[in-house]
Amino acid sequence: MAPSDKRVREIHKNSRVIARRYRVDKPRSFRLKDIDPGDTMGLKLRKQAKEILAEGVELMRDLQEKLYAQDRRAVLLIFQAMDAAGKDGTIEHVMSGVNPQGCEVHSFKGPSAAELDHDFLWRTNTKLPERGRIGIFNRSYYEETLVVRVHPEILGAQKLPPDLVTKRIWKERFEDINALESYLTRNGTVIRKFFLHVSHAEQKARFLARIDEPAKNWKFSLADARERRCWKDYMAAYEDMIRHTSTPEAPWYVIPADNKWFTRMAVAAVIVDTLESLDLAFPQVTKEQRRDLERARRELLAERKGGKKGR
Ligand code: ATP
Ligand code: MG
């Protein structure tokens, strides 16, 4: 059932509070250690969060329909996280109510040989959402400043001319990403970026669960456990990335991820807040369109059984 108008206003208000809390507004002084992965904003009840999520999803469906009908803006949601932080589950739950025709998810893994033959923004550019759509990137070009930075041998395999690979390369990539995101924003794409912030201890617990529970075995690989050894390097890379690429037009949200129920609710809140800020409405019907609608009504009502046209 759709929430009442009063409840809708309450959800908007709460969504704004949640979105502001986790948005990185002062990137220069941002520190990852200031965000507690176990934070739940004092919300202790899973049940309460589930209700808020369900209502948020309901509202999102409505807002997305208007986004689609207006066909002016696109929304790009980028998800980055360490393994087992809950990206997949969050995307699944948060987008569960949205019309699949208005939404598409793209996952980016290690690049193919063809992708390595292009610049680092090429493969994601071909998957950007059209106007009226919500596009989700499950990992993204930001990996180019994360896994590639943590493992220099990956950079070595990118076939870049050697004189272009200097110690400035990460700063240059941040600049290129910021330029791309400004360009997209100026063309009507609204960008929001989520870092699901899981703790080292919670990742271990989730990995052990993936090993112990047969139904979760497929999610685990030895490589994931090995990657964990680079935790500190990853955290430093994430922090630097957020410091350089959280902008007013395309902000990062650092979402506590030790409690899945909270992560899902908080991400839904940010999306509701974002869509809400776009002033979405169904397009107004013009006089001509209204006349056509009336004519169509008359013609439909005048139809005779068997498909013969009435007079
Ligand atoms: P799951 O939760 O199922 O493990 P996943 O997103 O981790 O999902 P994987 O099959 O593990 O999926 O593949 C993603 C891997 O690809 C990650 O380790 C990521 O760092 C790596 N990757 C993504 N983009 C790049 C890139 N541009 N260069 C190198 N590696 C990349
Ligand atoms: Mg993985």
Q: Does residue 108 line the site of ligand 1, with CB under 6 A?
A: yes
| Mutation test residue for ligand 1: of 147, 149, 158, 241, the one with most atoms within 8 Å of CB | 147
State yes or no: pLDDT of 310 exceeds 60. no
Q: In the numeric block, which tokens belong to residue 125?
A: 């550019």
Output the residue whose Cα is nearest ligand 1's atom 10: 109
Q: Does residue 148 line the site of ligand 1, with CB under 6 A?
A: yes
pLDDT in tens, 141-159: 999 999 999 999 999 999 9
State yes or no: pLDDT of 50 exceeds 90. no
Q: What pLDDT, on the 0 to 100 scale, is given for residue 22?
A: 97
Q: Does residue 147 line the site of ligand 1, with CB under 6 A?
A: yes
102 within 8 A of 133, measured Cβ to Cβ: yes
Q: How confident is the model at residue 293 (pLDDT cuts 50, 70, 90)?
A: very high
pLDDT in tens, 191-224: 999 999 999 999 999 999 999 999 999 989 999 9
Mean pLDDT of the region 162-178? 97
State yes or no: pLDDT of 78 exceeds 80. yes
- Average pLDDT along the chain: 94
Q: What pLDDT, on the 0 to 100 scale, is given for residue 309?
A: 57
Q: What pLDDT, on the 0 to 100 scale, is given for residue 274?
A: 97
Mean pLDDT of the region 89-106? 93
State yes or no: pLDDT of 311 exceeds 60. no
Q: What pLDDT, on the 0 to 100 scale, is given for residue 232?
A: 98
Q: Does residue 154 line the site of ligand 1, with CB under 6 A?
A: yes
Which ligand is the nearest neighbour of the Cα of 119? 1
Q: What pLDDT, on the 0 to 100 scale, is given for residue 65?
A: 96
Q: What pLDDT, on the 0 to 100 scale, is given for residue 307?
A: 63
Q: What pLDDT, on the 0 to 100 scale, is given for residue 68?
A: 96
Q: What percent of the chain has pLDDT over 70?
A: 97
What is the distance in A from the centroid of ligand 2 to the CA of 276? Answer: 33
Mean pLDDT of the region 96-101? 90
Q: What pLDDT, on the 0 to 100 scale, is given for residue 308?
A: 60
| Mutation test residue for ligand 1: of 88, 91, 108, 143, the one with most atoms within 8 Å of CB | 143
Domains in the chain, CATH or no CATH each? 5-286 (3.40.50.300)
Q: Does residue 110 line the site of ligand 1, with CB under 6 A?
A: yes
Q: What pLDDT, on the 0 to 100 scale, is given for residue 52?
A: 84
Least confident stretch, 9-18, 44-53, 239-248, 273-282 = 44-53
Closest approach atom of ligand 1 to CA 115? 27
* 3-class DSSP string for the chain: CCCCHHHHHHHHHHHHHHHHHHECCCHHHCCHHHCCCCCCCCCCCHHHHHHHHHHHHHHHHHHHHHHHHHCCCEEEEEEEECCCCCHHHHHHHHCCCCCHHHEEEEECCCCCHHHHCCCCCHHHHCCCCCCCCEEEEECCHHHHHCHHHHCHHHHHCCCCCHHHCCCCHHHHHHHHHHHHHHHHHHCCEEEEEEEEECCHHHHHHHHHHHHHCHHHHHHCCHHHHHHHHHHHHHHHHHHHHHHHHCCCCCCEEEEECCCHHHHHHHHHHHHHHHHHCCCCCCCCCCHHHHHHHHHHHHHHHHCCHHHCCCC
Q: What pLDDT, on the 0 to 100 scale, is given for residue 171?
A: 98
Which ligand is the nearest neighbour of the Cα of 109? 1
State yes or no: pLDDT of 42 exceeds 90. no
Q: What pLDDT, on the 0 to 100 scale, is given for residue 46?
A: 76
Q: Does residue 86 line the site of ligand 1, with CB under 6 A?
A: no
Which ligand is the nearest neighbour of the Cα of 153? 1
The pTM for the full model equals: 0.94
